[in-house]
């Protein structure tokens, strides 16, 4: 399987970025959910610390993913797409990329505003981005939660589109993002 993208298929590195980030995002929802059901205490803080570290990992991977995308050819969208479907696909992908940055950055800002330091798995201490402020924390908390819902809605649309390509249109769109497959 080629490492680099071609204009017809995603290479193994782009696929690895895609699927590792999907797995980490699912992890984020699970960790946030577990944390929100725990009473205030050490267990909750430990769960949130894990959520923050995984979130910072996603931020780093999103930067590397975009750099890799720019350094590679990008597979073209199927030429069977109507103009409005082309726009919808591009807007959905751009929204997902934007959220890969906006989710971790609002989380990091929120933690700084709450005066809770952020570290990456206790290995790297990250700087505070803003001074402590209760109203700012509350605004960022709401923003982080609303963005999480927008992420869910956009990802559902994205998954439905991938499934439609595979099962209804029977084209290569899903297969070319999957390892161990070949394009027709
Ligand atoms: C893609 C990355 C991320 C996703 C998908 C994500 C998702 C979520 C979700 C769904 C919640 C629950 C929101 C609610 O209360 O309804 C949450 C809470 C939280 N997130 Fe994230 N998050 C991400 C990254 C981060 C990062 C990088 C940080 C900090 C560095 C962070 C800090 C927090 C904190 C502190 C809370 C709990 C807020 C509270 O209840 O006081 N998140 N996150
Ligand atoms: C939170 C979950 C997800 C995020 C954030 C995400 C993000 C993205 C992004 C940003 C792209 C655009 C790639 C580019 O143009 O550089 C993409 C492509 C793609 N994604 Fe996802 N994705 C997610 C989940 C999924 C799932 C679950 C599936 C499968 C059912 C899927 C299937 C695909 C496929 C097939 C492509 C390639 C589209 C093409 O070749 O034009 N994604 N994804």
Give residue 183's pLDDT: 63
Give residue 87's pLDDT: 97
Give residue 163's pLDDT: 98
Partners of residue 120 on adjacent β-strands: 124
Q: How far is the CA of 155 from the centre of ligand 2 (A)?
A: 8
Q: Which residue, among 100, 108, 4, has the nearest Cα to 61 in the 3D structure?
A: 100
CA atoms within 13 A on the CB side of 157: 15
Condensed to tens digits (0 to 9), the pLDDT of residues 133-179 reads: 999 999 999 999 999 999 999 999 999 999 999 999 999 999 999 99
CATH number, domain 12-177 = 1.20.950
Give residue 152's pLDDT: 98
DSSP state, 126? E
Query: Which ligand has an atom closest to residue 48 CA?
Result: 1
pTM reported for the whole predicted model: 0.95
CA angle 101, 62, 162 (to 5 degrees): 95
Give residue 181's pLDDT: 81
Judge if the beta carbon of residue 18 lies within 6 A of ligand 2: yes
Give residue 72's pLDDT: 92
Token pair recorded at residue 109: 């800002």
Which residues of the chain, if any, have pLDDT below 50?
none
The beta strand positions in the chain, using DSSP E, are 118-120, 124-126
Task: State the CB neighbour count (10 A cutoff) for residue 179.
Answer: 10
To test the ligand 1 pocket, which listed residue (25, 32, 104, 118) has its Cβ within 8 A of the most ligand atoms? 32
Judge if the beta carbon of residue 107 lies within 6 A of ligand 1: yes
Q: How far is the CA of 20 from the centre of ligand 2 (A)?
A: 11
Give residue 41's pLDDT: 97
Buried b (16+ CB within 10 A) or exposed e, 52-84: bbbbbbbbebbeebeebbeebeebeeeeebeee
């Amino acid at each position: 399987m080629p490492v680099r993208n071609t204009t017809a298929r995603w290479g193994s590195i782009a696929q690895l970025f895609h699927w590792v980030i999907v797995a980490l995002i699912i992890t984020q929802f699970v960790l946030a959910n577990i944390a929100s059901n725990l009473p205030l205490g050490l267990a909750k803080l430990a769960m949130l610390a894990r959520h923050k570290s995984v979130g910072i990992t996603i931020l780093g991977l999103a930067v590397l993913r975009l750099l890799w995308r720019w350094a590679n050819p990008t597979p073209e969208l199927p030429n069977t797409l109507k103009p409005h479907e082309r726009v919808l696909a591009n807007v959905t992908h751009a929204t997902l990329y934007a959220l890969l940055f906006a989710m971790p950055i609002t989380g990091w800002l929120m933690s700084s505003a709450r005066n809770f330091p952020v570290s990456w798995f206790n290995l790297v201490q990250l700087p505070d981005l803003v001074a402590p402020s209760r109203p700012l924390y509350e605004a960022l908390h709401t923003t982080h939660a609303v963005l999480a819902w927008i992420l869910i809605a956009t990802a559902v649309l994205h998954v439905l589109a991938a499934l439609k390509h595979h099962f209804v249109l029977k084209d290569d769109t899903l297969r070319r993002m999957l390892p161990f497959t070949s394009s027709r």
